[in-house]
Amino acid sequence: MDMTLWVIVGLAVIGFLIVWATYNSLVRLNERVNEAWSDITVQLKRRADLIPNLIETVKGYATHEKQVFENVTAARAATVSGAALSSPKAAAKAEGDLQATMKSLFAVAEAYPTLQANQNFLALQSELTSTEDKVMAARRFYNAGVQELNIKIKQFPNTLFVRGLGFKEREFFEVADIAAIQEPPQVKF
């Protein structure tokens, strides 16, 4: 065989190996991001499941705060709706809205000293704080995975062919109103 043919075959094999390795690593990263997104939705669902119990506990003490309860209930429903979980941007908007309404619920709770001493309320508040920490951790894990995937897609020579293989950059989970979620809801007794 001619030396030129060996060089062409060698380059083709090297090119194939590069595409193969890149494709497999992108599949792995993409699945890691999917898993992280799933973790976020699980934690958001867990929090949403705690909120009705918290509302019922507060309702027993503050029956005239109907609008606050309705707003929290609506925001809670929005965080676990299909629309909110369809993309990080939609989830972030629902997240910010929920945080704002939860602050109003806790403000109502502050006005009732007997509620503040209620063991059920305290346990629910503790669970909610723990869940908020888990949501933040899941969001950090998701964003780290997205960053790694996006970097891999943008790197040269990957950027020349990975979009043709069906990979695209993913959206970060960034909250529009960062002040609304910088700290988990807190009740000061």
pLDDT tens column, 135-181 = 888 888 999 999 999 998 898 888 888 888 888 889 888 766 555 44
Cβ contact 136:47 at 8 Å: no
The more confidently predicted of residues 55 and 8 is 8
**In this model, does residue 25 exceed pLDDT 70?**
yes
**Rounded average pLDDT over 54-66:** 74
Quick one: pLDDT at residue 189? Answer: 35
**In angstroms, rounded to a whole number, what is the distance separating the alpha carbons of residues 183 and 114?**
25
Residue 138 buriedness (CB in 10 A; 0-12 / 13-18 / 19+): buried
The mean pLDDT value for 30-43 works out to 90
- Span 64-76, pLDDT tens digits: 677 788 888 888 8
**What pLDDT sits at residue 29?**
93
Question: Considering only the top CATH level, what class is 3-181?
Answer: mainly alpha
Provide the token pair at 155. Answer: 């790197």
- Mean pLDDT within 77-100: 81
Q: What is the CA radius of gyration of the chain?
A: 24
Q: Considering the entire predicted model, what is its pTM? A: 0.67
The ranges assigned to domains in the chain are: 3-181
Q: What pLDDT shows up at residue 63?
A: 65
Question: What does the pLDDT average to over 65-92?
Answer: 81
Q: Flag whether pLDDT at 59 surpasses 80.
A: no
